[in-house]
Structure 1
Amino acid sequence: MTTIIRLPDAGGELRAYHPRPAPLALSPGAGFRSRTVFSAAHVVADPFADVTPGSPAVLDWDATLAFRRHLWSHGLGVAEAMDTAQRGMGLDWAGAAELIRRSAAEARAVGGRIVCGVGSDQLISTEAGYPYGIDQIRAAYEEQLAVVEEAGAQAVVMASRALAAVARGPEDYLEIYGQLLRQAREPVVLHWLGPMFDPALEGYWGSTDLDVATRTFLDVIEAHPDKVDGIKVSLLDAQREIDLRRALPDGVRCYTGDDFHYPELIAGDDQGFSHALLGIFDPLGPLAAQAVRVLDTGDVIGFRELLDPTVELSRHLFQAPTRFYKTGVVFLAWLAGHQSHFAMVGGQQSARSLPHLARAYELADGLGLFPDPELARRRMTDLLAVHGVAQ
């Protein structure tokens, strides 16, 4: 086995890296007692599909569902058809609906917990924008909610690009969400996805002033507390999440979606804590699960000792432009042996540079995330060779 690998840095220079000889010992296990934890899961593209940019996604269903079984085996819940699954970045509503049906059936078969994204992405923008009215957006949401409920899954009501584009102000958000919540059979999770994840969502909840937007968000929840299981906050602003968490009605949970500050938010303080619904828990799944089991014993320090070192990798994967974090997530799944290739829906494997991917490999390997470090090293070497980097 070669003991070093030459990796390119951001300045175009090659440097020697000594891969870790053995992985971190991480075993499957049951669910958690102290926190509810979901991993937003990526999808595996079919590498042999004859597709072009903009054409419908074709998935490798066996590999996609096998990865979900991997997450469930470690006690994690799966958040399906969310932005990590490339909703709005290669996966259209038809593909997402099939993904929801198949994953929900798989969850029932193995006893796994699942929540699924509900949006309005069957409404496609044109050069002139979104030619839809509020009633059409509501109907799109209702169609997707019906698919999720018929599949037997819990709904995560996602932010709508169409609503962000056509809403006249907070009143339209109150109307749409109010009607949807009244129709929901079971309590849902409301998702506030910030513009760093999707620029089309700038000004969501009717204002670019986050204090005003937060007030509208809380108004929706306070009007229907019995229909809101919780909120997922993806703003990458720890203090704002803490303030929002403390303002929630009793019984409404906060699921952190903050891939920069998740250890401290999950650990919490003397006034509460956040549960988790995170894209970074796709590559971190087994390690995150072990950390939460430590937290279940009341050992906050031990939890932080396991999870804090992962933040550097997460901040690297989610660096601006944040929406392209999926490339790093899928890349690490390939290196870890969860899929046979590094191809993505919509050709998104090209969205990050070689130095970015090299650093992701180095950080993940240093954490011991790869079950077979030698396989990861060989695959990293193969990718480098394609880019003209000889070892």
Structure 2
Amino acid sequence: MIRLPRAGGGVHAYEPRTEPLALATAGALTSRTVFSAAHIVADPYADTTPDSPPGSAGGTPTAVDWDATLAFRRHLWSHGLGVAEAMDTAQRGMGLDWTGAAELIRRSAAEAKAVGGRIACGVGTDQLTGPADLVAVRKAYEEQLALVEETGSQAVLMASRALVAAADGPDDYLDLYGHLLRQASEPVVLHWLGPMFDPALEGYWGSADLDAATETFLDVIAAHPDKVDGIKVSLLDARREVELRRRLPEGVRCYTGDDFHYPELIAGDEQGFSHALLGIFDPLAPLAAEAVRTLDTGDVAGFRAILDPTVDLSRHLFQTPTRYYKTGVVLLAWLAGHQEHFTMVGGLQSARSLPHLARAYELADGLGLFPDPALAESRMRSLLTVYGVPA
């Protein structure tokens, strides 16, 4: 029995599981293409003094534990999932700068080649540190696209804060994305990240009206369908995603990024389904893979029976402010034994309250996510002790 703090005060007794969930770890996934957006493991011994200049002892590049970070990617590949690298789950724009992201892309791409894992990498403009015009935004995208393609990885064109600030309207998005797609050597994934994940992206595609923004987004795709492998939609609006995927050109995939409605969107309906590129599949990798392997056999009900119970945990981790979901993701990686500490780049482990973290532990344990429940309980107890919760 472990005493867990409640939101609003007080503690309650919780009896953890004693046995892990028995899951398979073999076989490719065939009916859906599934990526997990992967977190990074911080170096707990790095000097992370606030405001350290990039590249210094306290800068982002030296604050990553590369061995543990790559080991976690091998864990994801071992379950048949692809890795979506250097995206917002990896604290892109929230502790990981472009120098660190570039190194992460190079290392992860090399590891993917070594083990035969699928990888897609985020392309953005985060090397721009101040106000920039559209020419600078385009050049920043080009630099990152070139690096990702040089590694042999698929590119994910991420939404750009700098583009929001520089663009005057939809035409600027059409022009810039058209330019990038024409020069892309292979089909890319377009990423629409909503402001709930990053408030600086409000008004992306040239309008705060989502209907108008959707039309611009579709215009970009329609102009270059041969250069768009798919779209990754992270708006937490299942109805809008379904309507959008039904309007995609033949051959363009929809990768759901909806961490609230993913079971129904992946299962699909009589008119189609979504593939997946999800941050929640970082902690859910074994269960997600088991569910999709079940779906591969045509057993939709079995797929939903495995994945539906995980939604409560996902909604908890992604609750407002949604962008801090990474804290819960890293907590669960530590509790599951994928890393030796609960420390994050930029000190982001402090972004969620202790009751929030305790509830994440309880929900994850209930799902059987911890390979060693006793280890998870012991580590949770140590965290509670640091916070002064009585045993």
Match of 2:15 among 15, 18, 27: 18
In the alignment, residue 182 of structure 1 is paired with which amino acid?
R
**Equivalent position SS for 1:147:** helix
The counterpart of 2:109, out of the listed 104, 115, 118, is 104
**For 2:211 and 2:4, how far apart are their aligned partners in 1?**
44
> One-letter code of the match for 1:79?
A
Matched, 1:50 2:47: yes
- SS at 1:277 equivalent: strand
**Equivalence for 1:116:** 121
Distance (Å, rounded) in 2 between the aligned partners of 1:21 and 1:358: 18
1:200 aligns with 2:200: yes
Task: Please report how far the alpha carbon of residue 124 of structure 1 lies from its aligned counterpart in structure 2 after TM superposition.
Answer: 1.0
Q: Which residue of 2 aligns with 1:133?
A: 133
1:39 match:
36
Between the aligned partners of 1:382 and 1:187, the Cα distance in structure 2 is 47
| 8 Å contact from structure 1 (residues 115, 154) kept in 2 | yes
Q: Distance in 1 between matches of 2:267 and 2:24?
A: 22
Distance 1:77 1:53 in 2: 34
Matches of 1:54 and 1:323 in 2, distance apart? 21
Q: Take 1:52 and 1:321, find their aligned partners in 2: how far apart are those partners? A: 25
Partner of 2:281: 281
| Corresponding letter in the other structure for 2:86 | A
Match of 1:8 in 2: 5
- Point out the more displaced range, 23-32 or 108-117: 23-32
CA offset digits 1:64-123 (Å, max 9, x no partner)? 000000000000000000000000000000000000000000000000000000000000
Q: Which amino acid aligns with 1:37?
A: V
Give, in whole Å, the separation in 2 of the partners of 1:83 and 1:54. Answer: 21
Q: Shift of residue 51 of structure 1?
A: 1.5
Tell me how far 1:28 sits from its aligned partner: 1.4
Find the residue that maps to 1:78 and give its secondary structure.
strand
| Partners of 1:26 and 1:286 within 8 A in 2 | yes
**TM-score (normalised: structure 1):** 0.97
Runs of 4+ in 1 over 2 A off after TM superposition: 53-56
Other-structure match for 1:169: 169
Q: Could you say what secondary structure the match of 1:247 adopts?
A: coil
**In the TM superposition, what are the counterparts of 1:368-387 in structure 2 within 5 Å?**
368-387=368-387
What displacement does 1:29 show?
A: 1.3
Aligned 8 A contact 1:187 1:228 in 2:
yes
The one-character-per-residue Cα deviations of 1:200-236 (angstroms, maximum 9, x if unpaired) are: 0000000000000000000000000000000000000
Q: Which amino acid aligns with 1:242?
A: V
Whether contact under 8 Å (1:54, 1:346) holds in the other structure is no
Report whether the alignment pairs 1:251 with 2:251: yes
Is contact 1:87-1:96 (8 Å) kept? yes
The 1-side partners of 2:219 and 2:229 are apart by 15
The equivalent residue for 2:56 is: none
Q: What one-letter code is carried by the residue in structure 1 that aligns with 2:300?
A: V
2:55 matched residue in structure 1: none
1:147-158 superposed matches below 5 A:
147-158=147-158
Equivalent residues of 1:37, 1:277 under 8 A apart = yes
CA contact (8 A) 1:331 1:357 kept: yes
CA shift at 1:23, angstroms? 1.1
Alignment of 1:303-322 (within 5 A): 303-322=303-322
State the one-letter code of the partner of 2:119: I
Alignment correspondent of 2:212: 212
Structural mapping, 1:341-356, within 5 Å: 341-356=341-356
Secondary structure, aligned partner of 2:35:
strand
Unaligned runs of 5+ in 2: 53-58
Task: Give 2:103's aligned amino acid.
Answer: E
Residue 27 of structure 1 deviates from its aligned partner by 2.5
Q: Which position in structure 2 is the counterpart of 1:60? A: 65
Letter matched to residue 291 of structure 1: A
Separation (CA, whole Å) in 2 of partners of 1:107 and 1:179: 29
CA drift of 1:53 comes to 2.8
Q: Distance in 2 between matches of 1:42 and 1:75?
A: 17
* Structure 1: runs of 5 or more not aligned: none
Q: What is the number of equivalent residue pairs in this alignment? A: 383
Helix, strand or coil at the partner of 2:246: helix
Paired letter, 2:2: I
C-alpha distance 36-54 of structure 1, shift in aligned 2 (>3 A): farther
1:28 is matched with 25
Residue number in structure 2 paired with 1:227: 227
Contact 1:53 1:347 in 2 (8 A): no
TM-score between both structures, scaled by the size of structure 2: 0.97
Q: CA deviation at 1:163?
A: 0.3
Aligned-partner Cα distance in 2 for 1:268–1:203: 28
| Residue identity matched to 1:118 | V
Distance 1:223 1:245 in 2: 16
SS class of match (1:7) = strand
Q: 1:211 to 1:95 in 2, by over 3 A?
A: same
